[in-house]
Structure 1
Amino acid sequence: MEKKYKVIKRMISLIMTMFIITVIFAARTSVLEARNRIDTSKKGTLRLSYSCDITEDNINNPTPVTGVTIHLYRVTSVNEGGEFAWLSPYTDISEISSVEVNSISDADTWNSLVTPVKTYIYSNGISDDATGSSDSDGIATISNLDLGIYLVVTDTLVDDSNNCTYTFTPFFTSIPTIDPETDTWVYDNGQEYVVDVTAKCEYYLNPVSVDYDIYKNWVDYDSERPSSIEVKIYLDGSLYNTVTLSSSNSWHYSWSYEEGHSWTISETVPSGYSVSYSQSGNVFTLTNTGTENPPEYQQPPTTPTTPENPVQQVLGAVRLAITEDDTPEVLGATRLPQTGQIWWPVFVLALIGIGFFVAGFLSDRKKA
């Protein structure tokens, strides 16, 4: 009878522990739904600020850049729970299809996706989802946007009056965004989700002609390579030239052009290969990798992981990709999405429940 009593006591302790943990996580889910639920019937507005310090006198008073043209490409959707999903046709990009968007937790990954997405857009003639231009204050306001993550691409601006060329770094940004101070989605009079971002600007006064180079690398485990590769060169998003790389030119091409412009390189990928693009200064490298594994090689199995709080990590990484540091704000703009929930009560209460179970077990052992 006493042994039966001990078993019942242990079972009750275990049930109580599981009950406490269940209640904690149920409460956390309710808080997340209450705070982070997105109204997907609403639209978004993106306000972009463009300015540059073009003279020493303007270091603390940047000059607004007027007449900048902006293109927006929506690459993900977002649901009411704040989870993202890649959109077609971008799922055709190997770098995109191989990455679970809700697992991205660092700015480097977001930055690494800019080039393949831009390359795919230009080489396939993908139309932008929205466009806008900056006003006399250097502000571009683009409204009535579907919610999700956008690639923001800004055209190079040539100001002949000042003999100055402006370029702007492309980046990803999310609509909507959360203000971490209030843990609420940012609205404008409750009608639209609003995101404010400051674009990173570079300028070239009296630009000069500089040299550019393309190099081809092969990683193909001694496979039979194609005799040549066709490469398209895009200048500020428009096709500039089509060249052929082969052993006769040592898989290399060079050209000269005025500095301060945006270049994108795209090759016609041969069968049996994948391609990756990299850039260091004015040097572009195309690496073709054979899709067949080398002899006696087996790809180790991989287990995809999803962070416990994908909204916080994904959008925190988006913020870092824009600011290039871990500052909590986007250079005078409203902060990008953060969900930062308080987790310490979960572990404390869970330990209390486990403590009850352990105490009961030790008590039974002493009595025995």
Structure 2
Amino acid sequence: MKIFKKMKKLIIGGTLAALTLAMMIPTAVSAGSEDSKSLGKIDMSRDTTLSVYYSFDASGEIPAYGKMSGVNVKVYKMASISEDGTFTLIAPFDQLDEEITDMYSISDQDKWNGIITKAVIIANENSVQPSYIGTSDSEGYARLGKVDKGLYLGINDPIVIDDIQYKYWDFLSVVPGPNNLEENQGNGWDGTWTNAYYDVIAIPKKEAVKLEGDPEEYQVFKQWVDDGAANRPLSIDVKIYCDGTLLETVTLSNDNNWQYKWKSEKGHIFTVEEVMNTDDYTSKISRNENTFVIVNTKEPDEPDKPDKPEKPKKPDKPNKPNNPGSPDEPDTPNNDTPDDGGVLGAIRRLSDELPEVLGARRLPQTGQLWWPIPILAIVGIILIFLGFRSERKRK
């Protein structure tokens, strides 16, 4: 009975331990979800807002204006964003051939400028309606209010005050935005979204020009980085856009020394785009004031694929051997020749020299009968026993 009582206690204790472990599992999962938030995931349940700030300080002959009111801005949603900051481009901006995984996947500013240029062209050519519009107030803020989370393209209209045109460059902004750039002293983002800004303020780059005076001159150059490759294109086409609208398409070649110049009244924003007809080169466009430089770099040649090894030929079938003739009959051994080889031969030689024992001169040989020997031995032992017994009785 004591054994049964001990078993009962063990069963009850094990059951209670299992129930306690089962009750702890949901707590562990909940703690894991809290840890994922601490790792810097975006809180998708929080509302986000977007504003654009405009101001202008003194620059050269341009006086300071301070907070700029009356600037119109159109904002286009280019991509949605996941809780870990990954972008998914939205049509028609998915036509961009660059791989944009997140806001900081591309570190080259010229490449981002190229993406902005292409995005503006896509928006204009496809008559995309802006997701949000706004105008800056007396404090210099264009408050767009609550917006969806994602990546946005902002296009600003220039504003003219006292014959001075103030231009704010088109920009990209991600909502929400990381807040730890200042903590890193501008050395970049650490990839987490801890304490991200859910109320984002975009501050675009700016410039101002006096509209009075002669028209401005613009130029575009083509440079090749290919060591004089033989398959370099003989010419390329370049599209020139004025305020986001296609102005003209020009051809650059050796005939015009791979460059083109044009003039325009002040107050316009120009961008250029190369029409690529080959996959052998990558194109990069940079701008220095009114000069555009297009650099085409040749892609490295792919190594030749090794030839496939030839399949080994099947070996020839072996020739069938000729029918062998009947083997020669072995010579009949000469019985007169003494057998001197091997152990048996030595035994036979030794047995020939043995003295006669019990009328036999040789050891028993193969083919002789052995069974009488044990019978005779037993009979001899019996006879000896009987002889001793009869001798004792006689005495």
Cα 1:111–1:147 shift into 2, 3 Å:
farther
The residue aligned with 1:264 is: 271
State the partner residue of 1:30: 34
Please tell me whether Structure 1 or Structure 2 has the larger radius of gyration of its CA atoms: 2
**Deviation string, structure 1 residues 219-261 (Cα, Å, up to 9, x no partner):** 45321524x4332211221222332223322221101224453
Seen in structure 2, the aligned counterparts of structure 1 residues 28 and 111 have a Cα distance that, compared at 3 Å, is: farther
SS at match of 1:115: helix
The alpha-carbon deviation at position 29 of structure 1 amounts to 6.5
Amino acid aligned to 2:81: V
1:275 aligns with 2:283: yes
- After superposition, what is the alpha-carbon deviation per residue over 1:341-365, rounded to whole angstroms, capped at 9, x for unaligned? xxxxxxxxxxxxxxxxxxxxxxxxx
**Structure 2 contact 160–166 (Cα < 8 Å) conserved:** yes
Match of 2:153 among 151, 154, 157: 151
Separation in 1, partners of 2:91, 2:212:
39
User: Matched residues in 2 for 1:55 and 1:271: separation?
Assistant: 43
- Find out whether 1:217 has 2:223 as its counterpart: yes
Tell me how far apart the structure 2 counterparts of residues 183 and 203 of structure 1 sit (CA, whole Å).
37
For 1:29 and 1:111, locate their aligned partners in 2 and report how far apart those are by CA, in whole Å: 39
**What is the CA–CA distance in structure 2 between the aligned matches of 1:269 and 1:203, rounded to whole Å?**
33
Q: Percent of aligned pairs with the same residue?
A: 27
* Residues 41-190 of structure 1 aligned to structure 2 (within 5 Å): 44-54=48-58, 62-94=65-97, 96-97=98-99, 100-101=101-102, 104=105, 108-110=107-109, 112-122=111-121, 125-126=125-126, 127=128, 128-159=130-161, 162-177=162-177, 184-186=195-197
Q: Deviations over 1:85-122 (max 9, x none)?
A: 4445444433x22x543763x8x535631223323431
1:194 to 171, 176, 199: 199
Q: Normalising to structure 2: TM-score of the pair?
A: 0.54
CA RMSD of aligned residues (A): 3.8
- Which secondary structure state, in structure 1, belongs to the residue aligned with residue 294 of structure 2? strand
Q: Is the 8 A contact 1:114 1:170 kept in 2?
A: no
Secondary structure of 1:225's counterpart equals coil
Render the CA deviation track for 1:272-312: whole Å, top value 9, x for unaligned.
Answer: 35432121222112233455x337589xxxxxxxxxxxxxx
Sort the Cα spacing of 1:284 and 1:139 in 2 relative to 1 into closer, same or farther, 3 A. same
Q: 1:144 to 1:103 in 2, by over 3 A?
A: closer
**Amino acid aligned to 2:176:** P
Change (3 A) 1:295 1:197: closer
Per residue, is there more helix in 1 or in 2? 1
CA drift at 1:147: 0.5
C-alpha contact 2:85 2:102 (8 A) present in aligned 1 = no
SS of residue matched to 1:101: coil
Moved more, 177-186 or 253-262: 177-186
Deviation at 1:164, TM superposition (A): 0.5
Residues in 2 aligned to 1:297 and 1:214: alpha-carbon distance in whole angstroms: 37
Separation in 2, partners of 1:55, 1:287 = 31
The number of equivalent residue pairs is 259
Q: Using the alignment, how far apart are the partners of 2:149 and 2:164 within structure 1? A: 35
Equivalent in 18, 21, 40 of residue 44 of structure 2? 40
Any unmatched runs of 5+ in structure 2? 1-29, 184-192, 306-395
Task: List alignment gaps of at least 5 residues for structure 1.
Answer: 1-25, 187-192, 299-368
Q: CA deviation at 1:77?
A: 2.0
Identify which of structures 1 and 2 has the higher relative contact order when contacts are C-alpha pairs closer than 8 Å and 6+ apart: 1
TM-score by length of 1: 0.58
* 3-state SS, counterpart of residue 276 of structure 2: coil
1:243-258 to 2 correspondences below 5 Å: 243-258=250-265
